[in-house]
Amino acid sequence: MRKIYEHADYAVIGYYQSILEDEGILTLVKNVGAAMGTGEIPFTEVYPELWVMNDSDYGRAEAMLAPLHHQGPPEATTLPVWTCASCGETVDGDFGECWNCGTERPPIP
């Protein structure tokens, strides 16, 4: 049995586990619920861990997961700054209405 991955977010571990199990690779997740011990023990010791049960499956499992956890975060998309037609205020593109007067942002072309 070999540990293949650990992450602070249990959802990531569960997702990776489902990928491996769908391909017939038996897995085990350790430290489920261990986050309650944070503060008593180092936080890195309570991260959920994904383990491959059979050492012979480790290489195949690693090859399957490598593209997923080695890619960077998706590119953030930001909308352009806009000017409120009612009061002339400059508003950050992430806002759907003017912070000053409440007028809705015009449609984005």
Residue 35 has pLDDT above 60, yes or no: no
Spatial distance between the Cα atoms of 32 and 46, rounded to a whole number of angstroms = 8
Spatial distance between the Cα atoms of 43 and 60, rounded to a whole number of angstroms = 30
Kindly report which listed range (1-5, 54-58, 69-73, 96-100) carries the lowest average pLDDT score: 69-73
Residue 24 has pLDDT above 80, yes or no: yes
57 vs 9 pLDDT, higher one = 57
Spatial distance between the Cα atoms of 28 and 26, rounded to a whole number of angstroms = 7
102: CB partners within 8 A, 6+ apart: none
Task: Identify the pLDDT of residue 43.
Answer: 57
pLDDT, one tens digit per residue, over 3-20 is: 998 887 888 889 999 999
Read off the pTM. 0.56
